[in-house]
Amino acid sequence: MMNFEELDPTTRKWILDEFNAEQSQTPHFEPTELNPIGLAAFPDLMRQAIQHDNIASLAASLSNSSYWKPTRTYYRKGKPITQNIDPTTSAQRLAHSEFTTWYTRGMARKLKEEGITQCQVYRADSAVQPNCECTSLEGNTVSVDEIYNGHRAKYFPTPNQGAFSIPSSPFCHHTIRRLTV
Ligand SMILES: [Zn+2]
């Protein structure tokens, strides 16, 4: 289970503030595997999780099969491959990546509001294959502004795989903590 060390009411408030700011922008990020019903439900499910819950309850609420497209298409060596979407698996993946993305953004915002400019990267959960690109940054001190501005930087609004971002992929288990003196 992801250990979000400072998921207190103040952090949740800043996460919600950031989430609502993103939702008010056009266009904003929307999960491509959700159908129109799922996309309509998604913002309030996120708000519920941000204010009161966690990844597990978000995954449970997202696993409603009426929210998901039947298939997804991805490309391998230029060839389209179509795969059935399993709502339970996809809900777990989406809940993990979105909640981690938002915790990191909101925590960076909280530190910025306190005038803090540096923070530390840490692994918030073990992983079967702990090899995401920020593994080399574990324990490192990084700029709060860089973390804040790295929000979705690899894939939205335009794909940019070279951008600095934590979490660095949908499977990343990294986020940030405040530095202790
Ligand atoms: Zn990572």
Interval 119-178: pLDDT, tens: 999 999 988 777 788 999 999 999 999 999 999 999 999 999 999 999 999 989 999 999
pLDDT score at 11: 98
In what side-by-side order are the strands of the sheet with 118-123? 141-143, 118-123, 174-178
How far apart are alpha carbons 64 and 37 in whole angstroms?
10
* Distance from the alpha carbon of residue 101 to the mean position of ligand 1, in angstroms: 11
* Distance from the alpha carbon of residue 89 to the mean position of ligand 1, in angstroms: 20
Q: Look at residue 112 and tell me whether its pLDDT is greater than 90.
A: yes
* Distance from the alpha carbon of residue 133 to the mean position of ligand 1, in angstroms: 6
pLDDT score at 129: 76
* Distance from the alpha carbon of residue 85 to the mean position of ligand 1, in angstroms: 24
* Distance from the alpha carbon of residue 36 to the mean position of ligand 1, in angstroms: 30
pLDDT score at 127: 80
In this structure, which long-range contacts are made by residues 39-47, counting pairs with CB atoms below 8 Å and at least 24 apart in sequence? 41/67, 42/67, 43/19, 46/19, 46/98, 46/102, 47/16, 47/19, 47/20
Model confidence band, residue 48 (pLDDT cutoffs 50, 70, 90): very high
Q: Look at residue 53 and tell me whether its pLDDT is greater than 90.
A: yes
Q: Which of 35, 28, 26 is nearest to 62 (CA)?
A: 35
In the chain, where are the structural domains located? 9-178
* Distance from the alpha carbon of residue 66 to the mean position of ligand 1, in angstroms: 31
Q: Look at residue 76 and tell me whether its pLDDT is greater than 80.
A: yes
pLDDT score at 128: 78
Contact 150, 89 (CB under 8 A): no
* Distance from the alpha carbon of residue 124 to the mean position of ligand 1, in angstroms: 9
Model confidence band, residue 181 (pLDDT cutoffs 50, 70, 90): confident
Interval 26-40: pLDDT, tens: 999 999 999 999 999
**pTM to 2 decimal places:** 0.95
pLDDT score at 50: 98
Q: Look at residue 61 and tell me whether its pLDDT is greater than 80.
A: yes
Average pLDDT, the chain: 96
Q: Look at residue 22 and tell me whether its pLDDT is greater than 80.
A: yes
Contact 34, 68 (CB under 8 A): yes
C-alpha dist (Å) from residue 122 to 48, 135, 136, 172: 26, 9, 10, 11
Neighbours of ion ligand 1 (CB under 5 A): 132, 134, 168, 172, 174
How far apart are alpha carbons 55 and 66 in whole angstroms?
20
Q: What percent of the chain has pLDDT over 70?
A: 100
